[in-house]
Amino acid sequence: MAEVTQASQQFVKIKDIRDGVVYLKNGGLRQVLIVSGINFELKSEGEQGAILANFQRFLNSLDFGAQFFIHSRKVNIARYLANMEEQKKQETNELLRVQIEEYINFVRNFIEENAIINKNFFVVVPYDPVALSSGTKGFLGLFGKKQSSAAKQTTEEENVSQLKERSTQVIEGLSAIDLRAVPLENEELVELFYNLYNPQVVDKKGVTI
């Protein structure tokens, strides 16, 4: 079993998650922003045109790549129905108890015919620091020496600072089109990646904005 777990971990590119930052095994840093949505279809033609134009300007303002993705998953409401059943048992008013029962039956019948899909929108902001390897050959390796732990810590802080500056730029750019973006915290990042690597699990709590 240990061999299977170890073999599976080689496909996970994440080394660590600290202070809302995803550290990759290749040295790259990532920050994940969850973004609110816009009901684009309900906007007027003029409003839609303005949104598209602002979004285009936002993309053109970025001097780095960013990944936009939608995470869709089927919602398991068994726990919600169980809570409603418990509420029905505790209800002393007969009329309200009947109404709760009818509501439970309605929801149960509805989800049998219509899957409830939860969609979250994300932006992944990258920063890949360029570092010289201690094994560099030629002229650049002639004067190379191993960094002290203090120097490594300073470099990491600078890299995280660069990453967060990029995130701020994305947040401000999206706010221009009335989209609110918020960085995920450690627990939310773990939850997100758990869901991504375990799509068969449907009753995780998820992240919200």
Sign of CA dihedral 30, 31, 34, 35: negative
Cα gap 148→155, rounded to integer Å: 11
Is the pTM higher than 0.85? The answer reads: no
Parallel, antiparallel, or unpaired: how do β-strands 21-24 and 29-35 relate? antiparallel
What pLDDT is recorded for position 40?
83
The per-residue pLDDT for 22 is: 92
Residue 39 one-letter amino acid: N
Do the beta carbons of residue 21 and residue 153 sit within 8 Å? no
Domain residue spans in the chain?
A: 2-74+117-197, 76-115
Please state the length of the chain: 209
**In angstroms, what CA-CA distances link 59 with 63, 169, 176?**
9, 11, 12
Q: Using 50 as the pLDDT threshold, list the residues of the chain that sit under it.
A: 1-2, 4-5, 7, 131-145, 151, 202-209
